[in-house]
Amino acid sequence: MKSFLVLQNGTVFEGKAFGKNHAKIGEVVFNTAMAGYQEILTDPSYRGQIVTLTYPMVGNYGINANDMESSQVQAFGLVAREYVSLPSNYQSTETLHQFLERHGVPGIEGIDTRKLTRILRNSGAMNGGIFPSGAYSPEFLERVKAHPSMIGLDLAKEVTTDKAYVFGNHSLTKRNVAVYDFGVKTNILRLLDSHGFNVHVFPATTQAEDLMRQGFDAYFFSNGPGDPEPCTYAIENAKVLLQARKPIFGICLGHQILGLALGKKTTKLKFGHRGGNHPVRNLETNKVEITSQNHGFHVLEDGKTGTPTTRLNLFDNTVAGLKSDSLPILTVQYHPEACPGPNDSQYHFGLFYDMVTKLSSTGGNS
C-alpha cells in the first residue's frame, strides 16, 4: 500500500507502507546511527516520536529478543529509505515488518531520507504523521497541525514502571541503588548490576522521602522522553535527595532534571542530538569520547560557580555533563550504556560505584 509522510510545514513524501497499517502522528526526528534499529525503536526516550534513520537500509538483520531496551516499541513510527524484507542473521526470530505490526507501529519506506534530514536540520524537528492510504488527503495535514508540541509534554509518566521491582543479581556485598524510572533502558540496569549494585527500580513519581526511609546507598535518575520542565514532581524529589548528600547519577532526562534541581534552565534543541557518533570532551581529563545520544532538550550553561560543566558536546558546545562542588553528583547528557553505540563512556558506571564506595567509607561526608 502507498503511505504518506506529512510534515507540519506542509511537505509531503510518498512512499510504501510496512509495519502496522494505520496512521500515527508524532515529532519527526532523525538518528544517524548505522545499526541498532531495534534498540532505537524500543528506547523509551523515543516515546512520541517518529524516527528517521539516515542509514539507507533497515531490517537487514531482523529482530531478536536480546536487543530489546524495553518491553515494547516506544517510537510512534519509523521512516526508512529502504526496508529489507528478508533478514539474514542467525539470531533473528522475525522481520522488522512483523515486529512493528505486532507492536502496532507504522513504517514508511522508499522516500528520500537525505532530503527529509536536511529539512529537519534547517527547519528543526517538527510534528508529522505517517498515513497509509491509497491517495493523499488534506485531512492528513490538518491532523498533524492539531497535534500537541513536544514542548511542555511530560512523557515520563507514560513510560515509567507501574510498580517497584528489583533487577539483576542481589547480594550482601553489593551497594543498594534506587533507580528513578523515567524511561530507563534495560542496558542501564544491566550495567548498574554488573558494576556492583543491587538495583531497585521505582516509578517516576515515587516520593523521595519514601526512598530515604529505605536506606539506599545511592540514587539514579534515568533517561526518558519529553520535556524535563513539566516533570515538577521529579525536580522536587531531586532537590530533596540532593540535600541527603547521597551519591546521585543522572543520564539524559535524569541529567536535565538534576540540572533544573540545581537551579539551571533547560531549552529545546533545534533538531536534537540522536546518533552514535557524537564527540564529547571530558573537561576533567581533556579526553574526547565518541558517544551515543538521544535527546531533544538540554541544560543551559549559566556560568555560575558551584555547578561546573564537566563534559562538552563538540558538535555545538552544549553542556554534556555537570557536577557540584559541594554535592556528590555525576550527570551526563549522553548514553554511556550505548545500545546502540560506542562503549567509550561506559566507565561512568565505575565512577559512580567508586563515588558510592568512597562516600560510604568516610561515613557519608562529601
What does DSSP say about strands 82-83 and 126-132: parallel, antiparallel, or unpaired?
unpaired
DSSP class of residue 94?
Answer: B
* 231 belongs to the catalytic site: no
Give the integer Cα–Cα distance in Å for 72 and 46.
12
**Catalytic residue, candidates 27, 298, 337, 339:** 337
* 335 belongs to the catalytic site: yes
* Secondary structure string (H, E, C) spanning 119-182: HHHHHCCEEEEEEECCCCCHHHHHHHHHCCCCCCCCCHHHHCCCCCEEECCCCCCCEEEEEEEC
Give the integer Cα–Cα distance in Å for 216 and 211.
7
Strand partners, 18: 107
Give the integer Cα–Cα distance in Å for 131 and 353.
47
3-class DSSP state of 253:
helix
Q: How many Å is the Cα radius of gyration of the chain?
A: 20
**Catalytic residue, candidates 252, 255, 278, 295:** 252
* 252 belongs to the catalytic site: yes
Give the integer Cα–Cα distance in Å for 227 and 151.
6
- Catalytic residue numbers read 252, 335, 337
